[in-house]
């Protein structure tokens, strides 16, 4: 699913599926974007499923063609922290960035297993439907709250003046 809307609409959307895929363009060079990323995010070896002891609000990794990061929780840990992945493609006059936000792959597998289990024992009464819908709505609420934080951080790395969604 690829969004082709303006930046403000992408920023304020409510997502019902925990997966977002969109593109940005920047007039800044790739090296400058990576320098901003490294100066504002604690660089770690890998974004594992467990908690790390990062000292900044965000932790991430550098990849060959971009970067990945997530918010760092100061106290405790939440598995429901989406990861923002950004691939950078250099063009003649600008840089194109493919942004993807989703949960860790193990969290996605857990959600699918939970939903399949709930469907298998589903009876068409109020309590069965509530046990299926309410946890999913709570997970989606957490996802959307974290997405707002991640988008604010990506706008810090790629300033809105130079960011443009085609």
Q: Which domains does the chain have, with CATH numbers?
A: 7-157 (3.30.530)
Q: Which residue has the higher pLDDT, 69 or 121?
A: 69
What pLDDT does 13 receive? Answer: 81
CA–CA separation, 160 and 131 (whole Å): 41
Q: Please compute the mean of the pLDDT values over residues 108-131 and round it to a whole number.
A: 84
- In this prediction the pTM is 0.81
What pLDDT does 84 receive? Answer: 95
Q: What is the pLDDT of residues 11-24, one digit of tens each?
A: 568 899 999 999 98
Among 87, 82, 108, residue whose Cα is nearest residue 97: 87
- Over the Cα atoms of the chain, what is R_g? 18
What pLDDT does 66 receive? Answer: 93
What pLDDT does 6 receive? Answer: 40
Eight-class DSSP state of 164 = B
């Amino acid at each position: 699913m690829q969004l082709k809307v303006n930046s403000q609409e992408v920023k304020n959307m409510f997502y019902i599926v925990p997966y977002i895929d969109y593109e940005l363009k920047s007039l800044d060079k790739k090296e400058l974007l990576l320098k901003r990323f490294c100066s504002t995010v604690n660089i770690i070896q890998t974004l594992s499923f467990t908690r790390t002891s990062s000292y900044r609000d965000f932790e991430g990794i550098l990849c060959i063609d971009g970067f990945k990061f997530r918010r760092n929780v100061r106290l405790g840990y939440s598995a429901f922290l989406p990861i923002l992945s950004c691939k950078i493609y250099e063009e003649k006059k600008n840089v194109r960035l493919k942004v993807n936000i989703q949960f860790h792959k193990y969290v996605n597998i857990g959600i699918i297993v939970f939903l399949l289990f709930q469907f298998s024992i589903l009876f068409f009464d109020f309590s069965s439907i509530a046990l299926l819908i309410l946890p999913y709505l709570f997970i989606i609420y957490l996802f959307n709250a974290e997405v707002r934080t991640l988008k604010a951080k990506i706008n810090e790395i790629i300033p809105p003046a130079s960011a443009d969604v085609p």
